[in-house]
Every structure is written in structure tokens, then in C-alpha cells.
Amino acid sequence: MQTIPLEVRFPVELLSSLRMSHQEMEQEIQVWIALELFRQRKVSAGKAAELAGLSLADFMDITRQHGIEWVIYTKEELETELQSALTLSRTVREKES
């Protein structure tokens, strides 16, 4: 992935109060940006994980820690999914009988 540098300015005291190195803060900012882009559904989970420099599994853990949902259903979509699951369940049971 080709990248470009972006500069973020904040007080030096912030690093010392957070007890973070410059590199740790850069990594945190990358994760925060990836989380927000994913939360807004501007990028996929895979792309967000890549932006954050994490594996998909690690990114999933971080989204869970931040309460970010992976799937958001409307009431109608959820009803359709539930009906499909019930139909599939009935079909499987009939075949097993």
C-alpha cells in the first residue's frame, strides 16, 4: 500500500502525560482513524485493519473494545434474515427425517 505522511500537531506535554512515545502515539492515531472510518462505513473491515497496521482478528478485538458494531441491520433486514434462517432450519430438519 502506497502511503503519504500526514502531520498532526499536539502539545509535547500530552505524550508525557499519556506516557507514550512518539511512535506509540502515531500507532494510536492510525488505529483511531481506522476505527472511525470503519464506524462510519467509509472503509471495509479489511481495509481498516490494513490502515491500522493490524491483522483482521486484532482489529475485530479493538472494534469490540470500542463498542463498534460489525453488522447493522434495519428492522426489515433483520426480519428477512430471521425468516431465511427459519426456512433453512425447517428444510434441514425435513431432509434429516
Report the percentage of the chain scoring pLDDT > 90.
43
Tell me which residue range forms the domain holding 78. Answer: 12-96
Are 63 and 70 in contact by the 8 Å Cβ rule? The answer is yes
Task: Please give the single-letter amino acid code of residue 63.
Answer: T
The answer as to whether 54 is a domain residue is: yes
The answer as to whether 2 is a domain residue is: no
Classified as helix, coil or strand, 93 is helix
CA distance 9 to 95: 64
For the chain, what is the domain count? 1
The answer as to whether 30 is a domain residue is: yes
pLDDT attached to residue 12: 85
pTM for this structure? 0.68
The answer as to whether 33 is a domain residue is: yes
The answer as to whether 91 is a domain residue is: yes
Confidence label for 54 from pLDDT (cuts 50, 70 and 90): very high
DSSP for 37-89?
HHHTTSS-HHHHHHHHT--HHHHHHHHHHTT--S----HHHHHHHHHHHHHHH
pLDDT attached to residue 63: 95
Range 64-86 average pLDDT: 84
Average per-residue pLDDT in the chain?
Answer: 89
